[in-house]
């Protein structure tokens, strides 16, 4: 497995959410070097995933982001896939730890660079609009 880290181009311009994305990658990387029982790490990964998604969802809702329903659906779909993979892994059903980790790293990277960047642009535009001088109309 190869380690993966957060990159500045992934920033959504919200320090709290950037920090959570970094932490998510750190946790995924810790699966790589961990020896012994990985169950506690998997449990904390699922908990952290839910906590992080809730943070983003509250953030988008509070700011009336129009594409919130689509974003929420992405989170739900991913959460279901992860939970199913973990259930199969624990039951010894043809799912390897690398599969779970690889899937999560890949999904998270693509999601941050596509879906999360949409609300990042929305927030940046809102901030820019707030800084505009009032019109002279």
Binding site for Fe ion (CB under 5 A): 56, 116
Whether the CA torsion 45, 47, 50, 53 is positive or negative: it is negative
Tell me how far, at minimum, the Cβ of 109 lies from Fe ion, in Å: 12
Which residues touch 59 (CB under 8 Å, ≥6 apart)? 14, 17, 119
CB of 115 to Fe ion, least distance (A): 5
Query: Which CB sits closer to Fe ion, 25 or 89?
Result: 25
By C-beta, is 18 or 56 nearer to Fe ion?
A: 56
Q: Tell me which residue of 31, 38, 45 sits closest to 89, measured CA to CA.
A: 38
Cβ-based nearer residue to Fe ion, 32 or 80: 80
């Amino acid at each position: 497995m190869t380690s993966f880290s957060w990159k500045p181009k992934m920033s959504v311009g919200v320090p709290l959410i950037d920090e959570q994305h970094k932490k998510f990658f750190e946790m995924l990387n810790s699966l790589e070097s961990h020896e012994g029982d990985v169950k506690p790490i998997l449990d904390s990964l699922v908990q952290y995933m839910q906590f992080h998604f809730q943070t983003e969802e509250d953030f988008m809702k509070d700011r009336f982001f129009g594409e919130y329903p689509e974003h929420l659906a992405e989170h739900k779909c991913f959460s279901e896939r992860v939970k199913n993979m973990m259930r199969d892994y624990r039951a010894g059903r043809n799912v390897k730890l690398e599969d779970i980790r690889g899937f999560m790293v890949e999904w998270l990277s693509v999601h941050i660079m596509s879906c999360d960047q949409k609300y990042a642009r929305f927030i940046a535009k809102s901030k820019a609009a707030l800084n505009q001088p009032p019109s002279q109309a």
